[in-house]
Amino acid sequence: MLDALEDLQIDVKKHKAENPPKPEFFQYDLQDCTFDLLPKLNTPAKFIEAYMRREVFTRNGVEISVIGYNDLIKHKLALGRPKDLEDIENLKRIKPPGIS
Protein backbone atom coordinates (compact mmCIF):
# COMPACT_ATOMS: atom_id res chain seq x y z
CA MET A 1 0.00 0.00 0.00
CA LEU A 2 2.78 2.43 0.88
CA ASP A 3 4.53 1.75 -2.44
CA ALA A 4 1.30 2.52 -4.31
CA LEU A 5 0.91 5.80 -2.40
CA GLU A 6 4.52 6.66 -3.17
CA ASP A 7 3.83 6.04 -6.88
CA LEU A 8 1.09 8.67 -6.56
CA GLN A 9 3.73 11.16 -5.35
CA ILE A 10 2.55 10.99 -1.73
CA ASP A 11 5.29 11.25 0.89
CA VAL A 12 5.24 8.06 2.95
CA LYS A 13 8.78 8.14 4.37
CA LYS A 14 7.63 8.48 7.99
CA HIS A 15 5.38 5.42 7.64
CA LYS A 16 8.05 3.36 5.90
CA ALA A 17 10.41 4.10 8.80
CA GLU A 18 7.97 2.37 11.19
CA ASN A 19 7.99 -1.41 11.25
CA PRO A 20 5.11 -2.06 10.85
CA PRO A 21 3.42 1.29 10.14
CA LYS A 22 1.45 2.25 13.25
CA PRO A 23 -1.50 4.46 12.31
CA GLU A 24 -4.96 2.96 12.32
CA PHE A 25 -5.60 5.10 9.28
CA PHE A 26 -3.64 7.16 6.78
CA GLN A 27 -4.95 10.57 5.72
CA TYR A 28 -3.63 12.61 2.84
CA ASP A 29 -4.81 15.97 1.51
CA LEU A 30 -4.88 15.85 -2.26
CA GLN A 31 -5.61 18.64 -4.70
CA ASP A 32 -9.40 18.41 -4.60
CA CYS A 33 -10.17 15.95 -1.80
CA THR A 34 -8.93 14.24 1.33
CA PHE A 35 -7.85 10.62 0.91
CA ASP A 36 -8.32 8.31 3.94
CA LEU A 37 -7.09 4.72 4.03
CA LEU A 38 -8.22 2.32 6.72
CA PRO A 39 -5.76 -0.58 6.73
CA LYS A 40 -7.62 -2.20 9.62
CA LEU A 41 -11.35 -2.42 10.22
CA ASN A 42 -12.29 -2.08 13.89
CA THR A 43 -15.70 -3.60 13.41
CA PRO A 44 -17.28 -6.99 13.91
CA ALA A 45 -17.27 -7.36 10.09
CA LYS A 46 -14.63 -9.55 8.57
CA PHE A 47 -12.59 -7.95 5.82
CA ILE A 48 -13.90 -10.25 3.10
CA GLU A 49 -17.51 -9.49 4.10
CA ALA A 50 -16.86 -5.74 4.08
CA TYR A 51 -14.99 -6.08 0.78
CA MET A 52 -17.98 -7.78 -0.83
CA ARG A 53 -20.12 -4.79 0.25
CA ARG A 54 -17.63 -2.15 -0.88
CA GLU A 55 -18.51 0.78 -3.14
CA VAL A 56 -16.58 1.01 -6.41
CA PHE A 57 -16.12 4.09 -8.58
CA THR A 58 -13.79 5.14 -11.37
CA ARG A 59 -11.71 8.31 -11.33
CA ASN A 60 -9.33 9.26 -14.12
CA GLY A 61 -9.66 5.75 -15.52
CA VAL A 62 -8.71 4.08 -12.22
CA GLU A 63 -11.20 1.83 -10.42
CA ILE A 64 -11.27 2.68 -6.71
CA SER A 65 -12.87 0.59 -3.96
CA VAL A 66 -14.05 2.24 -0.76
CA ILE A 67 -15.70 0.92 2.37
CA GLY A 68 -19.48 0.67 2.06
CA TYR A 69 -21.71 3.18 3.82
CA ASN A 70 -23.07 0.80 6.48
CA ASP A 71 -19.64 -0.68 7.22
CA LEU A 72 -18.22 2.83 7.56
CA ILE A 73 -20.93 3.70 10.08
CA LYS A 74 -20.17 0.51 12.06
CA HIS A 75 -16.43 1.26 11.94
CA LYS A 76 -16.94 4.79 13.24
CA LEU A 77 -19.27 3.55 15.99
CA ALA A 78 -16.63 1.03 17.07
CA LEU A 79 -13.99 3.77 17.25
CA GLY A 80 -16.36 5.94 19.27
CA ARG A 81 -14.21 9.09 19.11
CA PRO A 82 -16.09 12.42 19.20
CA LYS A 83 -15.02 13.13 15.59
CA ASP A 84 -16.33 9.74 14.44
CA LEU A 85 -19.67 10.28 16.18
CA GLU A 86 -19.93 13.70 14.52
CA ASP A 87 -19.06 12.09 11.17
CA ILE A 88 -21.88 9.56 11.66
CA GLU A 89 -24.42 12.34 12.15
CA ASN A 90 -23.17 14.10 9.00
CA LEU A 91 -23.15 10.86 7.00
CA LYS A 92 -26.72 10.10 8.04
CA ARG A 93 -27.76 13.61 7.00
CA ILE A 94 -26.32 13.23 3.48
CA LYS A 95 -26.98 9.49 3.05
CA PRO A 96 -27.31 8.61 -0.64
CA PRO A 97 -30.70 7.34 -1.84
CA GLY A 98 -31.15 3.58 -1.85
CA ILE A 99 -28.93 2.91 1.16
CA SER A 100 -30.81 1.50 4.13
Nearest CA among 85, 16, 73 for reference residue 42 = 73
Please say if the pLDDT value at position 40 is more than 70. Answer: no
Amino acid at 81: R
Q: Does pTM top 0.75 for this prediction?
A: no
The pLDDT score that the predictor gives to residue 59 is: 85
Three-state DSSP class for 64? strand
Question: In this predicted model, what pLDDT tens digit does every residue of 53-71 receive, in sequence order?
Answer: 998 989 888 898 888 899 8
The pLDDT score that the predictor gives to residue 86 is: 94
Please say if the pLDDT value at position 44 is more than 70. Answer: no
Sign of CA dihedral 42, 74, 94, 62: positive
The pLDDT score that the predictor gives to residue 87 is: 92
